[in-house]
């Protein structure tokens, strides 16, 4: 297992594609063609993961097993985990209301909070969950676990996952770009929130015997939960606190098992 090599290549390739995509997104008359560069960047975690394991028969076998054997999934546990994200949204909205926030946050969102050009946002959210987790769970997380204690691997993965999203802040009309233009502190909150989410996804995946489909489903639920209601960015800051508490509980418990 070579986590340094994996993350070095993944970050470098992603930055190249997304850097070009960011430049194209700011060109006059851009019709969404920047997505031709954004999509390869999105695929990079999986493609690098596949490259790292393709010459190792045992690693390929383990990958196929975690991907195809649905018996690894513990349905009750996964369902409970998937309810965590909608619950964290509702708890955060409740806290916001106590602090004077608008009740309109409980209404379903009329549209997604960002634009993606010719790729439907719903499809992009599904692709992000699928290809990221194929990479993160196909090689990345296991490579960290191979050289670090479990809790350290969880925390470091969360940090690295947060940093991997950083180039998106330069891509016009991306979610990260939109919130940064609104208020830089909201963008900072986004990157901070990724850290506990990374820990939670890792714990959910391990609890389901490292099932990749379980990680994909949970990741997709995260993406949809963040777009379902008209919650404000201030409420999302509160949600980061809620998720941090949940992540700490799972993280602390994992060290005692």
For residue 257, what pLDDT is reported? 59
The C-alpha atoms of residue 102 and residue 106 are separated, in whole angstroms, by 9
For the question of residue 34 being annotated catalytic, the response is no
| pLDDT tens by residue, 231-244 | 999 999 999 999 99
pLDDT exceeds cutoff 70 at 175 = yes
The C-alpha atoms of residue 231 and residue 234 are separated, in whole angstroms, by 8
Q: Which of 26, 54, 111, 132 is catalytic?
A: 132
- How confident is the model over 162-185, as a mean pLDDT? 95
Which tokens go with 173?
């009309």
| pLDDT tens by residue, 1-50 | 899 999 999 999 999 999 999 999 999 888 788 999 999 999 999 999 99
- Residue 184: pLDDT band (50, 70, 90) is very high
At a CB cut-off of 8 Å and minimum separation 6, what does 193 contact? Answer: 236, 239, 240, 243
| pLDDT tens by residue, 39-97 | 999 999 999 999 999 988 999 999 999 999 999 999 999 999 999 999 999 999 999 99
At a CB cut-off of 8 Å and minimum separation 6, what does 33 contact? Answer: 24, 117
pLDDT exceeds cutoff 70 at 256 = no
- How confident is the model over 246-255, as a mean pLDDT? 84
Largest Cα–Cα separation, the chain? 58
DSSP secondary structure string, 171-220?
STTSHHHHHHHH-HHHHHHHHHHHHHHHHHHHHHHHHTTT-HHHHHHHHH
| pLDDT tens by residue, 196-233 | 999 999 999 999 999 999 999 999 999 999 998 999 99
Asked if 190 contacts 176 with a C-beta cutoff of 8 angstroms, the reply is yes
Across 114-128, 152-166, 179-193, least confident range: 114-128
Q: Which of 34, 54, 165, 219 is catalytic?
A: 165
Q: How many CA atoms lie within 13 A of 183 on its CB side?
A: 9
For the question of residue 132 being annotated catalytic, the response is yes
Asked if 220 contacts 78 with a C-beta cutoff of 8 angstroms, the reply is no
DSSP secondary structure string, 33-100?
TTHHHHHHHHHHHHHHHHHHHTT-HHHHHHHHHHHH-GGG--HHHHHHHHHHHHHHHHHHHHHHHHTT
């Amino acid at each position: 297992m070579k986590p340094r090599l994996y993350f070095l290549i993944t970050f470098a390739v992603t930055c190249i594609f997304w850097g070009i995509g960011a430049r194209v997104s700011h060109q006059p008359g851009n019709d969404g063609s920047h997505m031709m560069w954004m999509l390869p960047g999105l695929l990079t975690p999986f493609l690098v993961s596949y490259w790292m394991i393709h010459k190792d028969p045992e690693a390929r076998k383990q990958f196929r097993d975690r991907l195809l054997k649905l018996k690894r999934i513990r349905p009750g546990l996964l369902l409970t985990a998937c309810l965590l994200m909608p619950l964290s949204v509702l708890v955060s909205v409740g806290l916001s209301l106590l602090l004077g926030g608008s009740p309109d946050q409980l209404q379903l969102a009329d549209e997604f909070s960002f634009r993606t050009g010719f790729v439907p946002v719903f499809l992009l959210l599904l692709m992000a969950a699928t290809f990221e987790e194929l990479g993160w769970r196909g090689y990345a997380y296991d490579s960290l676990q191979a050289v670090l204690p479990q809790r350290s691997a969880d925390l470091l993965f969360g940090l690295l996952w947060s940093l991997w999203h950083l180039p998106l802040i330069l891509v016009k009309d991306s979610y990260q770009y939109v919130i940064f233009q609104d208020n830089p502190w909201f963008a900072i909150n986004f990157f901070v929130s990724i850290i506990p989410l990374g820990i939670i996804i890792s714990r959910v995946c391990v609890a389901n015997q490292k099932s990749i489909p379980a990680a994909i489903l949970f990741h997709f639920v995260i993406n949809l939960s963040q777009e379902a209601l008209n919650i404000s960015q201030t409420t999302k800051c509160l949600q980061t606190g809620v998720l941090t508490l949940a992540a700490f509980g799972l993280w602390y418990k994992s060290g005692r098992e």
